[in-house]
Amino acid sequence: KAGVTQTPRYLIKTRGQQVTLSCSPISGHRSVSWYQQTPGQGLQFLFEYFSETQRNKGNFPGRFSGRQFSNSRSEMNVSTLELGDSALYLCASSLARRGGPHPRNEQFFGPGTRLTVL
């Protein structure tokens, strides 16, 4: 089974521009989460989508947004880029079971998109 794929793998932008990153989850996974990773702040949760709806959100400004399509593929967008947005952006997918209680499902991470803002 193919893993989580993210495109592009590397991206260079300049301040003020916007960027869209794409994530294709593992087939059958309906939950997609996005994380930002920087050396100083570590791995930080951005948001999670399930069935085309955002069901969790981290503490990031409104410049960071996302969406999920009916095939579970997800995109995240960052507008008005700042130097501090330079980071590795990771996408993770998981099965989402109904009912409970049960432990949070294992997340499968993609290789990430390395964004550099100049």
Residues forming contacts to another protein in the complex (CB under 8 A) are 4, 33, 35, 42-45, 48, 55-58, 88, 90-92, 96-97, 100-112, 114
Q: Give least dist CB 63 to another protein, A.
A: 19
Q: Least separation, in Å, of the C-beta of 74 and another protein?
A: 15
- 3-class secondary structure per residue, 60-93: CCCCEEEEECCCCCEEEEECCCCHHHCEEEEEEE
Which C-beta is closer to another protein: that of 24 or that of 33? 33
66 vs 112, beta carbon nearer another protein: 112
Q: Which is nearer to another protein, 43 or 80 (CB)?
A: 43
Give CA angle at 27 (22, 32), nearest 5°.
Answer: 45
In the complex, the smallest distance separating the C-beta of residue 109 from another protein, rounded to whole angstroms, is: 3
Residue nearer to another protein on the CB measure, 17 or 22:
22
Q: Least distance (Å) from another protein to the CB of residue 62?
A: 18
